Structure 1
Amino acid sequence: MNKLDEEQSIPLNAMPRASDMDQDLMTGPRIEVKVADARLASQPKKITIPGFVIIPIWMACSISVILYNTFVFKSLDFPYPVFLTTFHLAFSAVSTRILQRTTTLVDGAKDIEMTRDRWVRSILPIGALFSGSLILSNYAYLSLSVSFIQMLKAFNPVAILLISFAFKIQEPNARLMAIVGLISTGCVLAAYGEVHFELFGFLCQCAAIAFEASRLVMIQILLHGLKMDPIVSLHYYAPVCAVINACILPFIEGMEPFYNLHRVGLLVLLTNAGMAFALNVAAVFLISVGSGLILTLAGVLKDILLISGSVIAFGSRITALQVFGYAISLGGLVMFKTTGGK
């Protein structure tokens, strides 16, 4: 996902007139220089954050969102992932539109020609997959430990590769099959070593991984050539997902979340949703700094810190077999990211 900079057009009254041409030839390209200066002066200044600053911020936001959600689900006894996800997406839909009017962070949306046909054929199905991934992933946190879920998420690249093979986007080769074998072996060992294994949570997380991998492959197929950073993606997908979630909320959780809102309160809901949105804002700045290797290593470090944090905050237990299996998965993950998945 790359950020696109909008090029501003030169107003007609700033263009050189025919009567100015002779003067321009005699005195040099004075008019052209002035127009260029005017364009540069009117170009909105981009906010840049150094890598050594934004990487820790992104890591802190990512870890905080997961731990905060787990705190809401378990410690505050508010086990309603569909409601919480719907609130997050509605908050993001409103926030992206506020940012679009007040900042340059969502300027990439102006370079995307979003027709009704493209919306129906691309945004809607991808949004549905995104919604399913979020709901199922959050349901997994109700019965599985944070540390175990993070270990299972290492299987994401394998799911992406398998779906890419099925759609013939990529052809299998020895390197890719080695990556699949490494990550799969590591995840199997991590699952086998889990102390508190819950089949329902495990199936929810596996389904969430399948939904997320399908979403990423669908983006590659349906939105080929369109570049969306995390904020622009939220700008289009958040309203779709919020409506989908709101439609299925009565059938899954009913009115129970509204009856139990006193357990969390408005302040917790707003700060929780704000933190999730801040993670996407941080991701915009993250992708503009550092190489693929640096970002991959930052992600690995983030996962290790998150697993450690879950052990400290929630008393999650991890075994030596899980650590060994996760280490194998991380090795395969680094291979996948540093080779570009090829």
Structure 2
Amino acid sequence: MADEKERSSGEIPRPEPKGPILPTTNSDAEKSQPPKSPVHPAFYVITWISLSSSVILFNKWILDTLDFRYPVILTTYHLTFATVATQLMARYTTLLDGRKSVKMTGRVYLRAIVPIGLFFSLSLICGNLTYLYLSVAFIQMIKATTPVAVLLSSWAMGLAPPNMRQLLNVSAIVVGVVVASFGEIKFVWIGFLYQLGGLLFEAIRLNLVQALLSSAEYKMDPLVSLYYFAPICAAMNGAVALIWEVPKVSMGEVYNVGLFTFFLNGMCAFLLNVSVVFLIGKTSAVIMTLCGVLKDVLLVLASMAIWGTPISGLQAFGYTIALGGMIYYKLGLESIKTYAGEVGRHWAEFGATRPALRKVVVIGAVLLFIFVLFSGLAPTYAPEYNPSQYLAGAAEKVGVSS
């Protein structure tokens, strides 16, 4: 009887629905979801790397190649340009609407913004002074120690308790930069000290900003921060420039650079701050860390290509250690293992789908490594060859006067 019930129940057809068939998805929920951005995040990454590299190379070109040796005036111009641009954007665009949620008062401005602006100005002045003495490549190598300076200054300022494990984690960065400094061919002490000063001031500024932003009522994106910091920084730098550089500069030196060149330089520096806002909003902190490392490497290569900056093998070795230490400190071992596994999986898939192209990439990378290694490490065994003396000797033997 039970078997008959089971068979008969299985043979009963399901009744057809009398009403309309309901959709399987919630159309209202789909409408409420924000539309996907038509721009790929890679666009923001490429834009930020391009603008960040361009500003550094642009400044080096103006201060060194065009012989406009007034870094404080150039920095004051950048900050004045940023002040005017952010004021206009606050009035005619929505990009700075985030400032409306910041409870900024006169007391907060004097107690927090002014000190941060002071150290921001000092870091910019020292950073631009460095371009007068050191190569872009070596400057980027020294900048790898920024996490170390931030860590040590946070301990000194009482913002964080000393942690020997953290200090051990960043020790590889210090070792790498020390090795790179020993390998630097054109080492200038005054430029090196200016760069260390710039790193120290920048580290103090970052710690002050972190202390300010630890409260939810002062959360600011980089563009809103520039809106508040640019005016006070421009005033401070302008006061230094009036005493230090304005009496020495001539209009001939300004016209030698060109007013349009100055405008492009200021626009490039300002657009860099705008690109940072979009990069933070569209990517993650991990992507920003890796992009920063990639940007530094590209800057070193660009410096070698544009100015013929010599890079020794010892210097390249030390910089590689510093970059590896910086990635380890910012990401951590577990994150590095995770991303390394992802890279390995994608590399294996690439080899399975395009084996010939993968072989070409491997061979090209090996050849490039060998070329860079031997061009940096190989000593010069032969003296400089000058054929004119041998030609003159041969001409004298055959009785021909030169």
TM-score by length of 1: 0.83
Q: Does 1:234 align with 2:219?
A: no
Please point out which of 59, 76, 80 is paired with 2:70. Answer: 80
Letter in 2 for 1:216: L
Task: Please give the residue correspondences for 1:17-28 in structure 2 after superposition, counting only pairs within 5 Å.
Answer: none
Counterpart secondary structure, 2:133: coil
Query: Would the alpha carbon gap of residues 46 and 106 (structure 1) be closer, same or farther in structure 2, given more than 3 Å must change?
Result: farther
Question: Partner of 1:104: helix, strand, or coil?
Answer: coil
Amino acid at match of 2:109: W
1:165–1:171: 8 Å Cα contact kept in structure 2? yes
Q: Say if 2:213 and 2:220, in contact at 8 Å, map to a contact too.
A: no
Q: How does 1:149-160 map to 2 (within 5 A)?
A: 149-160=139-150
Once the two structures are superposed, residues 159-213 of structure 1 have per-residue CA deviations (whole angstroms, 9 ceiling, x without a partner) of 0000112233223435412222111101111111100000110000000000000
Confirm or deny that 1:197 pairs with 2:187.
yes
Q: Percent identity?
A: 45
Q: CA deviation at 1:257?
A: 2.9
Q: Distance in 1 between matches of 2:36 and 2:229?
A: 24
Are residue 131 (structure 1) and residue 121 (structure 2) matched?
A: yes
Partner of 1:4: none
For the pair 1:115 / 2:115, whether they are aligned, the reply is no
Q: How big is the alpha-carbon RMSD for the aligned residues of Structure 1 and Structure 2?
A: 2.0
> Any residues of structure 2 matched to 1:251-262 within 5 Å, and which?
251-259=243-251, 260-262=253-255
Cα distance change on mapping 1:208 and 1:102 into 2, 3 Å? same
Distance 1:170 1:329 in 2: 24
Counterpart code for 1:131 = S
Q: Distance in 1 between matches of 2:222 and 2:250?
A: 30
Question: Aligned residue for 1:35?
Answer: none
Rg larger in structure: 2
Residue in 2 that maps onto 1:326: 319
The 5 Å alignment of 1:261-340 reads 261-339=254-332
Give the Cα–Cα distance (whole angstroms) in 1 for the partners of residues 285 and 98 of structure 2.
22
More off after superposition, 149-158 vs 328-337: 328-337
Task: Tell me, in whole angstroms, the C-alpha distance in 2 between the residues paired with 1:231 and 1:246.
Answer: 21
Correspondence 1:218 to 2:208: yes
Contact 1:72 1:264 in 2 (8 A): yes
Provide closer, same or farther for how the CA distance between residues 271 and 96 of structure 1 changes in structure 2, counting only shifts above 3 A.
same
Distance 1:206 1:48, change over 3 A: farther
Aligned residues of 1:68 and 1:272 also touching (Cα < 8 A)? yes
Per-residue CA deviation, residues 245-273 of structure 1 (Å, 9 max, x unaligned), is: 11111221133334321111210111000
**What does the per-residue CA deviation read over 1:97-149, in whole Å, with 9 as the maximum and x for residues that have no partner?**
11112222111111111111101010001000000000100000011000000
Contact 2:83 2:227 in 1 (8 A): yes
Separation (CA, whole Å) in 2 of partners of 1:220 and 1:318: 36
Structure 1 match to 2:385? none
Q: Is the 8 A contact 2:170 2:329 kept in 1?
A: no
Aligned positions, number: 298
Gap change, CA 1:137 and 1:78, over 3 Å in 2 = same
| AA of the residue aligned to 1:200 | I
Q: 1:53 aligns with which of 43, 47, 50?
A: 43
| Unaligned 5+ runs, structure 1 | 1-39
Structure 1 runs (4+) greater than 4 angstroms displaced: 45-49
